[in-house]
Amino acid sequence: MFVRSLNNESQLLRKIAEGDQHAFKIIYDYHRRAVYARAIFLLKSEVLAEEVLQEVMLKLWQSAGKLTDETNLGAYLTTLTRNRSFQILRRRVLEAKTEIELRKDWTESHNETEEGILLADTQKILADGIALLPPQQKMVYELCRVDGLKYEQAAQSMNLSVETVKSYMKLALRSLRSYMKSHTDLAAILIILKII
């Protein structure tokens, strides 16, 4: 981005140090395209490149008195532009990471709380539905779904055939699904279908 310097750049910088706005405008007009082009190359954003241009030129206005006759103004502006652009990039990366973490934490805690309440309500409704089942269906459901027995084990425990146990389980599940549909909303039904 090195731009060849103006013939009278040192004089212009001295005038800028004294507050000469016309001298500043000459340097600004001469270097602004190069500063902007470098910033847009690094940041890929017109808005941010414009922000960098303004900040770099403001820094030039403020520090003109500290620059010596040997200062290569093009190189100085390139360095300011690069540094400011990298600061913005680092800030944006940090903001993005922070936003992702905040969103993740909020979503997890929000979902866990909501699902916990919904699950507790749904389990209560399911328990009420189980209590209303006929005794044989209730026992088959509890042995197979709550205690985790296989149909054969439940049949042996209840002294029934495996087919009878399967039939009782179908009836129990049909009754529970019907009871749940009439006592819960859609979200709860989706959760309970994993339970039933």
d(CA 93, CA 87) in angstroms, rounded, equals 10
Task: Tell the CATH topology of 9-96.
Answer: Rna Polymerase Sigma Factor; Chain: A (1.10.1740)
CATH number belonging to domain 132-195: 1.10.10.10
How confident is the model at residue 2, as a pLDDT? 43
Q: pTM of the predicted model, to two decimals?
A: 0.49
Cα-Cα-Cα-Cα dihedral sign, residues 189, 190, 192, 196: positive
For the stretch 74-107, pLDDT in tens is: 899 999 999 999 998 888 888 777 777 776 655 5
For the stretch 26-64, pLDDT in tens is: 999 999 999 999 999 998 889 999 999 999 999 999 888
Domain ranges of the chain: 9-96, 132-195
Pair of tokens at residue 138: 């209730």
Give which of 29, 73, 79, 70 is closest to 52, Cα–Cα. 79
